Amino acid sequence: MADRGKEMIFGYARVSTKDQSLERQLAVLEPVCDKIISEKESGKSTSERPELLNLLSHLREGDTLVAHSIDRLARNTRDLLEMIDGLVERGIVVRFLANGMSFDNSPQSRLILTMMGAVAEFERGMIASRRNEGIAIAKDAGRYKGKQKNKELHSKITEMLLAGKNTPDEIAKLCDCGRATVFRVKKEMMSTEQV
């Protein structure tokens, strides 16, 4: 983006797959934006979208970032809130056309961002709670097995332990796993008297 002397309104359009069209978003962004950045990226976090990262790095105080809807800008609530918070602190306004929401560094915007953050935190807590309840029910029914062993990794660790040429720390580095995994395999071997 070339050097510029005035505040600008930037649009950001994104679709998740190469087959989807940007036309609907561009149609509402073009009348209100000085420049539009678009990309086709599927399910990637904000840090994995090069066009968005480039745009965010070029925004200056007084600029406005416009997106058709919240879900076009960020994949999850945490990313969204962190992005908006960082932008408004830099003096950049963030607007969403679909719901008419606009965020700046005003007390009202800060209140809304704080409330959205609290709702997102509550939502994460509820998801974790439901997941834990589901696991408990599955365990009681004998259907929950937990994380399954990587048999190939365990076999490699077993071979190295039996060879006796490496320390557990070295084995962990060579196998790209944690020390706890090596010691768990060693403990299993000792219980079956392989060592």
The catalytic site residues sit at 16
The pair of structure tokens assigned to 151 is 């048999």
Instruction: Enter the DSSP assignment of 18.
Output: T
Instruction: Enter the DSSP assignment of 124.
Output: H
With a CB cutoff of 8 Å and minimum separation 6, the contacts of 22 are 13, 14, 15, 38, 40
Contact 10, 65 (CB under 8 A): yes
- Distance of alpha carbon 13 from alpha carbon 1, whole angstroms: 17
